[in-house]
């Protein structure tokens, strides 16, 4: 085979390959999809980014022309945080955090530095942190679920039992149970 023929064949193969690669990028992945919270507040995110959630992905796979996905178990403020996470990761789920945690400092634990900033901010309010964990579990976003749980673990790591109970809210649950028991007696 002549050098010229080899070159023509190489160019033809590289053109086919680049056309195949272009074909793999689905333009509709950047179409917006709307996520609706339990209060019916809506948040728009590119379809590809929303598919980081297995719940959203399976809903969109069943109904490819869907433009809105209801998320009835997630409140508006928490869904806003989930969408912020989706936008930050652009549809690519980061690696799961290694366990056991090697540090209480989230920046030392996570692979994506912006995740540490995000979860530290959310973790300032335990109710929001627990609601975010529940939303990640409901929406099946494994990396966000692990990130939230790692934040809880970092808060309790090295703490005495009483502080752990306070962080986990078990004191509140115990006092509610005791109050109910006392009122029945």
Cβ neighbours of residue 75 closer than 8 Å, sequence gap 6 or more: 37, 38, 39, 131
- Which residues, in sequence order, are CB contacts of 165 under 8 Å at separation 6+? 171
Residue bearing tokens 């929303």: 50
pLDDT score, position 24: 52
Degrees (nearest 5) of the Cα angle 155, 131, 116? 45
pLDDT in tens, the chain (185 residues): 555 544 544 444 544 443 444 445 455 677 899 999 999 999 999 999 999 999 999 999 998 788 999 999 999 999 999 999 999 999 998 988 888 888 999 999 998 999 999 999 999 999 999 999 999 999 999 999 999 999 999 999 888 888 888 888 865 545 454 545 455 55
Rounded to whole angstroms, the Cα distance separating 143 from 146 reads 5
At 65 the pLDDT is 81
pLDDT of 182? 52
Written as one string, the DSSP assignment of 29-44 is GGSEEEEE-TT--EEE
Q: Output the pLDDT for position 142.
A: 95
Q: Which fold has domain 27-173?
A: Potassium Channel Kv1.1; Chain A (3.30.710)
Domain-by-domain residue ranges, the chain?
27-173
DSSP 8-state secondary structure symbol assigned to residue 25:
S
Q: Model pTM?
A: 0.76
Tell me what pLDDT residue 23 has.
46
> What is the H or E stretch that residue 68 is in?
strand 68-70
Residue 64 has what pLDDT?
76
Distance CA 128, CA 44 (A): 21
> What per-residue confidence (pLDDT) applies to 33?
95
Predicted local confidence at residue 1, as pLDDT: 56
pLDDT recorded at residue 84: 97
């Amino acid at each position: 085979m002549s050098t010229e023929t080899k070159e023509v064949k190489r160019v033809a193969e590289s053109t086919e390959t680049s056309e195949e690669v272009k074909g793999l990028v689905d333009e509709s992945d950047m179409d917006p999809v709307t996520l609706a919270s339990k209060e019916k507040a809506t948040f728009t995110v590119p379809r590809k980014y929303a598919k980081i959630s297995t719940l959203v992905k399976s809903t969109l796979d069943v109904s490819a022309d869907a433009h809105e996905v209801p998320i009835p178990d997630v409140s508006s403020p928490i869904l806003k945080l989930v969408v912020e996470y989706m936008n930050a990761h652009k549809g690519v789920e980061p690696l799961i955090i290694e366990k056991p945690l090697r540090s209480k400092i989230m920046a030392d634990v996570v692979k994506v530095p912006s995740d540490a900033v995000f979860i530290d901010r959310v973790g300032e309010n335990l109710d929001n942190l627990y609601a975010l964990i529940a939303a990640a579990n409901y929406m099946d976003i494994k990396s966000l679920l692990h990130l939230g749980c790692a934040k809880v673990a970092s808060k309790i790591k090295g703490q005495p039992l009483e502080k752990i109970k306070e962080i986990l809210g078990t004191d509140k649950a115990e006092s509610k149970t005791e109050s109910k028991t006392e009122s029945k007696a």
